[in-house]
Amino acid sequence: MNLKKILNNIEYEVVRGNDNLDIGEIQYDSREIKKGDVFVCIRGYVTDGHKYIGSACENGASAVVLSEDVKPVPGCTVIRVKDTRKTLALMASNYYGNPSEKLKVIGVTGTNGKTTSTFMVKSILEAAGFKVGLIGTISNFIGDKKIPSHRTTPESLELQKLLARMVEESVDYCVMEASSHSLYLDRTYGIKFCQAIFTNLTRDHLDFHKTFENYYRAKLILFQNALNSIVNIDDRYGERICKDAPGTKVTYAIDKKADVQGGSLNVHSRGIAFTITYGGDKESINLNIPGKYNAMNALGSAAACLCEGVDLHNVKKGLEQMESVPGRCEVVTKPYNLGYEVIVDFAHTPDGLKNILKTVREFTNGKLICVFGCGGDRDNTKRPVMGKIGTELSDFAFITSDNPRTEDPMSIIREILTGVEKHNYTVIENRREAIKAAMKMAKRGDVVVVAGKGHETYQILKDKTIHFDEREVVADIVKELSS
């Protein structure tokens, strides 16, 4: 494609060479460059693409897009822009034929509930007869076709490529998780969202954003690029979104009066029953995932689809036909008759841990046993908070390791323990052994919650990643304990 066409609607200056040349592909990693490609210099948090211009040109780049003063590279066209991240997003969109203009895109953001909400929206829209793509933490989907996911929201180049594949396969809607990182780093820049859902906002990612205000401002970016904002006003930051976001706002709530109203909640071990009222119509919903917070996720998902013209009958059908979401309040002991349950959940924030433990408490007849830890190289201010929540809301807790990354696992655990006031816990650093100990402790009527990893199938230890799927771990422990 012609470079000038790729740079359409972007302000730029030709520093050297000629912008009227054919380009192979767009790259932001110099190691991926092939002859005739254009290299976009992205400044990251670990390194800076401007340092690799020489390497990119040696590998065959015919053009470089940059934002800093660097030494000219002989034989290579040099294009200067103000912001290379925004430019990469727009270049990628142009290169792939502006795919987001050819389908409807629904974005979901918030600290918790993004993944569950995207699955719910997908299920509702499919019940209404649409073909749906999904981009998120667990996997990406084009209809029923599953595609591996490497991060919650892909870099803009990969994101636009995936949207283009969806257009090629006649997808009507793409529903995607929009993480605060991706919004701040302009991965979704240039995409117009028909609906943007706000789930909630609680402490997380302060290692990246530094302040809670910065975290909120990153989330707000999604709603500044949306036709409609679907907002949870039971969350105090939802009320702020309603004030700060432009365009039309549609509210949802259980405890407050809202456009899409939830009520008559009845939580049980296999799900939750509730009602949805919208525009004078009312439907009873039996959701296969327990928890008031999942009823909230369902309301937000329903609200977005209702705004797209889906009727309440199909909302009900879509929500009720969804069996579960991997790693989200997932009962992994259904195949076994143990007398107790083991639930795996992705809860890795204070609010997420509080939600899952309060939900499970509602249907636990015996003891509530929790296995949890905190990830390394992430916001360490939440560690004592989670220590307090994990021990206060469970009858007994096993504090363990959870993706320590480059940190010493016991150092992380010691920080967790600074928030613990009760003595109803034990420390077992090895996560598998902690899960086994919890299952050995469990008696009939008890529930074991294994929190923090959910759908993940790995553990990150120092410089290596090992296979660790908690569904498999539980299955193996069941065999060990029964032999």
Task: Tell me: is residue 359 an annotated ligand-binding position.
Answer: no
Task: Tell me: is residue 454 an annotated ligand-binding position.
Answer: no
Q: Please state the separation of Cα 482 from the chain's center in Å.
A: 37
Task: Tell me: is residue 270 an annotated ligand-binding position.
Answer: no
| Rounded-to-10 torsion of CA 80, 83, 86, 89 | 40
As given in the structure block, the two tokens for residue 101 are: 């203009």
CB 444 within 8 A of CB 412: no
Task: Tell me: is residue 259 an annotated ligand-binding position.
Answer: no
Task: Tell me: is residue 116 an annotated ligand-binding position.
Answer: yes
- Distance, in Å, from the CA atom of 262 to the CA atom of 251, rounded to the nearest integer, reads 11
Task: Tell me: is residue 4 an annotated ligand-binding position.
Answer: no
Task: Tell me: is residue 390 an annotated ligand-binding position.
Answer: no
- Distance, in Å, from the CA atom of 186 to the CA atom of 342, rounded to the nearest integer, reads 39
- Which residues on neighbouring strands pair with residue 197, listed in sequence order? 108, 230
User: Please, is 423 exposed, middle or buried when counting C-beta atoms within 10 Å of its C-beta (0-12, 13-18, 19+)?
Assistant: exposed
Residue keyed to tokens 């990251």? 44
Task: Tell me: is residue 266 an annotated ligand-binding position.
Answer: no
CB 350 within 8 A of CB 389: yes
- Distance, in Å, from the CA atom of 132 to the CA atom of 151, rounded to the nearest integer, reads 20
User: Please, is 337 exposed, middle or buried when counting C-beta atoms within 10 Å of its C-beta (0-12, 13-18, 19+)?
Assistant: exposed
Task: Tell me: is residue 114 an annotated ligand-binding position.
Answer: yes
Task: Tell me: is residue 457 an annotated ligand-binding position.
Answer: no
- Distance, in Å, from the CA atom of 385 to the CA atom of 331, rounded to the nearest integer, reads 26
Task: Tell me: is residue 139 an annotated ligand-binding position.
Answer: no
Task: Tell me: is residue 30 an annotated ligand-binding position.
Answer: yes
Mention every residue, 6+ apart, whose C-beta is less than 8 A from residue 200: 110, 111, 112, 113, 232, 235, 237, 238, 296, 351
Task: Tell me: is residue 291 an annotated ligand-binding position.
Answer: no
- Distance, in Å, from the CA atom of 304 to the CA atom of 231, rounded to the nearest integer, reads 10
Task: Tell me: is residue 418 an annotated ligand-binding position.
Answer: no
Task: Tell me: is residue 186 an annotated ligand-binding position.
Answer: no
Task: Tell me: is residue 179 an annotated ligand-binding position.
Answer: yes
Task: Tell me: is residue 401 an annotated ligand-binding position.
Answer: no
- Distance, in Å, from the CA atom of 83 to the CA atom of 80, rounded to the nearest integer, reads 9
Binding site, residues?
30, 110-116, 152-153, 179, 187, 378, 402-405, 452, 456
Binding site for meso-2,6-diaminopimelate, residues?
378, 402-405, 452, 456
Binding site for ATP, residues?
110-116
